[in-house]
Chain A
Amino acid sequence: MSTAAQPVLSLVNVDKRFPGVHALKQVSIDIRPGEVVGLIGENGAGKSTLMKILSGVYQHDGGEILLSGRSTRFADAADANSQGIGMVFQEQSLLTNLTVGENIYLGNETQFTRLGIVNWRALYAAAARQLAKVKVDVDPRMRADDLDFAARQMVELAKALTLEENAGGHLVILLDEPTSVLERAEIDILFARVRALKERASFIFVSHRLDEVLELSDRIYVMKDGAVVADLKASEADVTQLHHLMVGRSLQAEYYREPQQRPFREEVVLEADGLSLGPAYRNVSFKLHAGEILGIAGVIGSGREELTRTLAGFAPHDGGRLLLGGREARLNSPAEAVDGGVGYIPRERRVEGLVLFLSVAANITLPDLENLSSYGLINGAAERRLAGGWVDRLKVRTPGINALCLNLSGGNQQKVVLAKWLNARARILVLDHPTRGLDVGAKEEVYDLVRQVTAEGVAVILTSDTLEETIGLSHTVLVMRDGGITHRTAANPGEKPRQVDLIGHMV
């Protein structure tokens, strides 16, 4: 502990329980003035619960929060704000139909109001001063949706800094995955601004990207299973060490389970022949074989996202031919895709993947209830047996098959999504960013399962957040640009294409 300064914010043995989950166990954390504190941990380690307690969404049930040495709690977001806690969230919270200035002072217009009339000129002048603090060149009268993500992030930072005016003490700004939608150059700018603002505020920086946490933080807290397991100086830590502390094991060379990659079979399960959809993509042709993982690489706007949605039944093609098991098909709805043996594992796991308020069992059997029914009635005993079998086989960590999916961690939720398609005997799985938001350990479990099911003959269409993952998992990689396929290559174990070679075809 380098400085002797009194912490701005201290958590002392903070405890939080949810039904069935002990989310935070005696967590103690200190934030000193002008410090950037990194907070890392796997999904389910308790980071988001902690952030939600600090931003007033949840209240702790045990322990104490000290703000400048004084005990306090945050009743809601407005209360946290008024006590000097600002937030910049990963899901950006700007209202895109309002101007930048309106956003910055949303809910705090009173200072510019006389007799109920807002003095817009004064508000925009004040907003411009806030924007100057973060050195961002944005007209406060612009609408938020005219800004790119990087500029919006800066506006959020400027908005958080308005708390200086009301909160008496030192500010603490929570940065929750602020870099997830930013490009590298934008991240550099954001980090530079954060460093420049350290005189005005302390920061808590949450990210999955360990290199960024090391780069920006002064100190790093590592959380695991709801408890703080390490408190390190960033200058004395490295990625391998952090990773080891987080998951209790180290990154291995066989991360993507390449040794388990088996040659795919002869049988063609899906064929696209000159497939087209409006301006999104055109003349796309490929063959997908049983047991093959076909990765599609491409930047935003390349058409790969729309192609994925077509194969899952959300966006029917309007040109060319799609053959499922040799028969021509047009997938007008997910129901038709499911009937054709296609299962979709969406990026929005909690929205499209699972019905969170149904049980694990009900989610697993949802696409295939037909086969569990006789004379119109669902066979409850068979359903329980089936669901229990999948939970065991995929090692889903859940209190039971009747637990709501809401209460599972991201990785276990993803296993339930996978179980539901395996139960429905899907022959083709469309994996749409299957490891998004998962921590390293959960990712590895997903990779294992994907290898297992392909060994059994299931074919996979994969789009992924990282090129590394696409290359590592796939048998074949297609590269798309501007709606067309620009490159295709085999990706056999030991002969994987290099990222740089693919990038050349992407941009």
Chain B
Amino acid sequence: MSGLADRIGTDRLRQWLPLVTLIVLVIIVGTMQPVFLQPSTLLQLASDTAVLFILATGVTFVIMLGGIDLSIQSMASLASVIVALTVARLGYGAFALAIGIGVLAGLLSGLAHVRLKIPSFIATLASGGVLYSSALVISGERSITLPDTERAYQTWITGTPFGIPNVIIIGLVVLLVAHLLQSHTRFGRYSAAIGAGEPAAYASGVKVSRQKILAFMLSGGFAALAGVVLAGRLASGSPTLAAELLLPSIAAVVVGGTAITGGVGSIWRTLVGALIISVVRIGMTFLGVNIFAQNIVFGVVLIVAVATTIDRSKIPIVK
């Protein structure tokens, strides 16, 4: 307990560390490449962050409870395939269908975790495999380009009225909704309580299973929304569309300062984390780092973030 007690004391400083990191990164990249600080580049940065942020937002709900959802990138890819396959027939209904399937997949993962008492790590690793294969099967293992005739349905994602890309506005709406859920609803409070002390939450009459299932449904729904947005931006759906996004998403949550063990965290931290990941990514592109080498950096960043956001020297046992 001593380590945790000390951790709380230093948290006041630590909680600002991610934001400071973000500002320093922006200054570094901006100094080396002044074009980076132009409004158009920054808008591009924000647009590129949106998908990552939406994915990370969903998984933040699960991480707050002390769980993990490894199926989000497969869910996002599947959602892109569903949109590409059905938008011609269903119109806007295709988006609702994709998000509905995301929520359903989250429900099933949640049920497997809660009812069958399978660790969320395993339950979502397995359900991610199911979702990935489903996407492969229904897409015929190929990328499906959205027909030009259906592009109109995508303008809510790709449009730029008033000079601000819609995708940024979608991201802001997600931020607002997630913030309300987390900070001002019973679900958010119960999640924090379960993440920080499940037995006490249970004994206080909190319906723990229901909250957990809800979190997985949110994670699945947000992952599907991310896939929908990504499909709109790339004008295609593919079973591997979001294949490289799991690591950066979880890195974004943790880099922002949400404890991977649950209980401590917020959606604002995830926003800062997602922006850090994006700045690092764009910075690397500016600096000419091979795009395929970028996950090396994210992997290292994830380790460093976990190691520094919590003072691990005081935690004797890690499983």
A377 touches B (CB below 8 Å): yes
In the assembled complex, the CB of B47 is this many whole angstroms from the nearest CB of chain A, namely: 30
Inter-subunit contact A52/B193 (CB<8 Å): no
Inter-subunit contact A378/B186 (CB<8 Å): yes
Please, which residue of chain A has its CB at the minimum distance from the CB of B263? A357
Number of B residues with CB within 8 Å of any CB on chain A: 28
B196 touches A (CB below 8 Å): yes
Query: Which of A312, A339, A351, A377 is in CB contact (< 8 Å) with B185?
Result: A377
In the assembled complex, the CB of A7 is this many whole angstroms from the nearest CB of chain B, namely: 27
Q: How would you classify the secondary structure of chain B's contact residues: helix, strand, loop or mixed?
A: helix
| Interface window among B55-63, B202-210, B300-308 | B202-210
Inter-subunit contact A420/B9 (CB<8 Å): no
For window 3-18 of B, CB contacts with A under 8 Å fall at 4-6, 8-9
Cβ-Cβ contact count across A and B, 8 Å cutoff: 92
Inter-subunit contact B207/A355 (CB<8 Å): no
B200 touches A (CB below 8 Å): yes
Q: Mark B13-55, 1 if CB is under 8 A from A, else 0.
A: 0000000000000000000000000000000000000000000
Q: In the complex, what residues of B have CB within 8 A of residue A312's CB?
A: 203
Question: What CA separation (Å) do A424 and B6 show in the bound complex?
Answer: 32
Q: In the complex, what residues of A have CB within 8 A of residue B180's CB?
A: 377
Q: In the complex, what residues of B have CB within 8 A of residue A52's CB?
A: 2
Q: In the complex, what residues of A have CB within 8 A of residue B204's CB?
A: 334, 338, 366-367, 420
Please classify how large the interface on chain A is, using the bins under 10, 10 to 19, 20 to 34, 35 or more: 35 or more
B142 touches A (CB below 8 Å): no
Q: In the complex, what residues of A have CB within 8 A of residue B8's CB?
A: 19, 357, 404, 406
Question: What CA separation (Å) do A339 and B207 show in the bound complex?
Answer: 11
Please, which residue of chain A has its CB at the minimum distance from the CB of B10? A19
Question: What CA separation (Å) do A414 and B197 show in the bound complex?
Answer: 16
Q: In the complex, what residues of A have CB within 8 A of residue B4's CB?
A: 357, 406
A71 touches B (CB below 8 Å): no
Please, which residue of chain B has its CB at the minimum distance from the CB of A406? B5
Known interface pairs A57-B2, A355-B197; A19-B203 also in contact (CB < 8 Å): no
Inter-subunit contact A357/B264 (CB<8 Å): yes
Query: Which of A19, A333, A356 is in CB contact (< 8 Å) with B9?
Result: A19
| Interface window among A167-175, A176-184, A295-303, A368-376 | A368-376
Inter-subunit contact A356/B203 (CB<8 Å): no
In the assembled complex, the CB of A87 is this many whole angstroms from the nearest CB of chain B, namely: 15
Known interface pairs A367-B205, A406-B8; A373-B186 also in contact (CB < 8 Å): yes
For window 308-326 of A, CB contacts with B under 8 Å fall at 312, 314
Inter-subunit contact B193/A352 (CB<8 Å): no
Inter-subunit contact A355/B200 (CB<8 Å): yes
A346 touches B (CB below 8 Å): yes
Question: What CA separation (Å) do A344 and B4 show in the bound complex?
Answer: 27
Inter-subunit contact A407/B5 (CB<8 Å): yes
Inter-subunit contact A334/B5 (CB<8 Å): no
Inter-subunit contact A356/B196 (CB<8 Å): yes
Q: In the complex, what residues of B have CB within 8 A of residue A373's CB?
A: 185-186
Please, which residue of chain B has its CB at the minimum distance from the CB of A312? B203
A264 touches B (CB below 8 Å): no
24 contacts between A and B (CB under 8 A): A52-B2, A57-B2, A333-B202, A333-B207, A334-B203, A337-B205, A344-B203, A353-B203, A354-B197, A355-B200, A358-B192, A358-B193, A362-B189, A362-B193, A366-B189, A366-B193, A366-B201, A366-B204, A367-B205, A369-B190, A370-B186, A377-B185, A404-B8, A420-B204
Interface residues in chain B, defined as those with a beta carbon under 8 Å from any beta carbon in chain A: 1-2, 4-6, 8-9, 180, 184-186, 189-190, 192-193, 196-197, 199-207, 263-264
9 shortest interchain CB distances as A-B pairs? A338-B205, A355-B197, A357-B196, A19-B9, A352-B203, A335-B205, A366-B204, A377-B184, A367-B204
